[in-house]
C-alpha cells in the first residue's frame, strides 16, 4: 500500500510550512496516522503530486492558478497554520475520504 504523503506549503517553503508540519505531526500522531511529511514552496509543490497539500488560506488564490487534480491531491487551507484544532478539524474528513481513517 502506498504511504500517504502530505506536503506543507508556504511562499518560501522554509518557515511557516515547517511550523505547520510540526503542528500536524502532533495531530497525526494523536490520530494514529502514519504519513510521509515534507514542506515546500508553492511552485515546487504543484509538481510533487502529494496526497494532501496543507497551506495557509492566504495562498489559496495562488493555488487556484494551477491545474491540480483534486481527485488525487486534496487541498487544505488553514486560517492559522499552527492551530492543531483547525488542522485536525480539516484533515480528519480528508483522511476519511481517502480511506485512511474510518467514520
Please give the Cα distance from 64 to 61 (Å, whole number): 5
Calculate mean pLDDT across residues 45-71. Answer: 88
pLDDT at residue number 14: 82
Beta strand 5-10 pairing with 36-41 = parallel
Please tell me the total count of domains within the chain: 1
Residue 80: DSSP 8-state: S
Q: What is the CATH number of the domain that holds 68?
A: 3.40.50.2300
The percentage of the chain sitting over the pLDDT mark of 70, rounded to a whole number, equals 98
Calculate mean pLDDT across residues 40-61. Answer: 90
On whether residue 103 sits in a domain, the answer given is no
Average pLDDT of the residues of the chain: 90
On whether residue 79 sits in a domain, the answer given is yes
On whether residue 28 sits in a domain, the answer given is yes
For 62, the domain range is 4-98
Say how many residues make up the chain.
Answer: 103
pTM of the model: 0.90
Between the alpha carbon of residue 14 and those of residues 39, 40, 74, 99, 100, the distances in Å are 7, 7, 21, 30, 28
Other CB atoms within a 10 A radius of the CB of residue 88 amount to 17
On whether residue 34 sits in a domain, the answer given is yes
Q: Which three cell numbers stand for residue 97?
A: 475520504
Q: Which three cell numbers stand for residue 57?
A: 488560506
Amino acid at each position: 500500500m502506498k504511504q500517504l504523503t502530505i506536503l506543507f506549503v508556504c511562499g518560501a517553503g522554509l518557515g511557516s510550512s515547517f511550523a505547520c508540519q510540526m503542528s500536524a505531526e502532533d495531530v497525526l500522531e494523536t490520530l494514529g496516522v502514519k504519513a510521509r511529511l515534507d514542506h515546500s514552496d508553492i511552485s515546487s509543490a504543484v509538481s510533487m503530486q502529494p496526497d494532501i497539500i496543507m497551506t495557509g488560506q492566504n495562498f489559496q488564490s495562488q493555488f487556484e492558478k494551477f491545474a491540480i487534480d483534486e481527485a488525487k491531491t486534496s487541498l487544505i487551507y488553514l486560517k492559522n497554520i499552527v492551530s492543531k484544532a483547525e488542522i485536525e478539524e480539516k484533515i480528519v474528513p480528508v483522511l476519511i475520504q481517502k480511506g485512511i481513517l474510518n467514520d
